[in-house]
Structure 1
Amino acid sequence: MSTNRTAEKRAALYRMVMPDHVCPYGLKARDLLQRRGFMVDDHWLTTRSETDAFKAEHDVKTTPQVFIAGERVGGYDDLRRYFGQHVLEPGETSYRPIVAVFAITALLGLAVSFAALGTPWTWSALRWFGSFSMAVLALLKLQDVEKFSTMFLNYDLLARRWVRYGYVYPFAEGAAGVLMAAGALTWLSAPIALFIGTVGAVSVVKAVYVDRRELKCACVGGSTNVPLGFVSLTENIGMIAMAAWMIAI
């Protein structure tokens, strides 16, 4: 951010504050301005008619609106761009959801190992990491099975032949993950993980590396922008490895 843009340290913020609604983006905009050292002239739009009149006067479609040095910056996303912060655009690829899943499940694996065995650094921690990852990924898919199954049909070879497999898959993944975490019914959990992992890996390899198709991965549910490829292949190979390990031990 250039020096002349930081010289003016006062900003005007117009945001909706009504008895039944306080605009969350208005609060975020005020917080961001204050953290950047701005004195904020906080103007409340307390009725719908007042809000509509403000939008008509300034020819804008949304609130909040921020003005710095007498010039309109825009809403919260525009303010973030003004300060040089990244704003995720519609359809933009983001690995944040999958990184969050694996980071939390890894920490959970270490935590359970410490609670149960007195140290986080055990082979069991790795098993719990894998099983927790399967369970959480299944949970994300189950938030909207319709979206997941639709996305899944774009590339999964078995789901294309038997559509109901797209609905069965997250339940099978979740069940295998929970059973593996408990170390119970390995005769059931290991074959499930081995089967769905193998079918998934073959499907991803064919779609991405053979057919060269650019698709979105359904691995963390149906509303993400993770490209199909390495992440989904890693998930499937992880399930295969977990199954082989559980059978071996």
Structure 2
Amino acid sequence: MLRVGVSDFPVYDGSVPPDDFIAQCRRLTTLGGIPADQLPAIMTVRCRGMALQVLEGDGGQTDVTTLLQKAFGDKPPEAAAAQLSAAQKGTMPVLEYSVLIRRLVRGACPEFFGDDGAVKKICVPAHQAALYRHFLVGLSTEEKILLSRQGVKSFDAAIEELRREELIGGLDDGGLHHSRRVRVIGYAERVHHVSPRQPEPTAGGDGGSDTAAEVNTVSADDGRSHHSTEGDVLVAIDRLTDNIADGMCRR
């Protein structure tokens, strides 16, 4: 009988169907003489990311194998495609979001993969394009602007850039570090000729220092300095989001 420890079991994050993970765990349990009733606990310990969240969210009410199959098992391509189109990053960490996109692209585009589960060599460009396109669609306006400004042109590079942003620390409610947020807004004004309206005076004031969230910018037309509210700029950027994302995907 083999000596088998928990660390010998594979790790599973939900990025691919769980069939191989389940089969390997069962095989190791048998080879190591581990009681079958310990398998669910071992599988739970070896889950990461989205897979672990699904198990924790269930609270042990459902069999682990059944739950993983239901959440991450193969689905009809149409169902996976619908989920892919609706996927949004929101406040999700970028690595977790990238795992979600990988899994949904795998389900929606089975023709990209061979019998061994690997991407077919001839399909690598199309697979990468699908990953990047759908990754972009679910990002916030500011995240899209940031990637455009940084010249990001691939799925892996986008993950790296947004991961770097997460590691800066001190993220504001909009999901970007404040200093980077201001630079992104200024970039959008210069490149996309956004001209927000001037801030209105506050009650009891002259419209100067009492206005909230002001950003110093430079006019794209004449280089003169002016003030605009951050909210105005973001509203204007929202109107440009689809064009920006489409333009990046056509590169």
The TM-score with structure 2 as length reference comes to: 0.26
Q: Which has the higher strand share?
A: 1
The TM-score with structure 1 as length reference comes to: 0.26
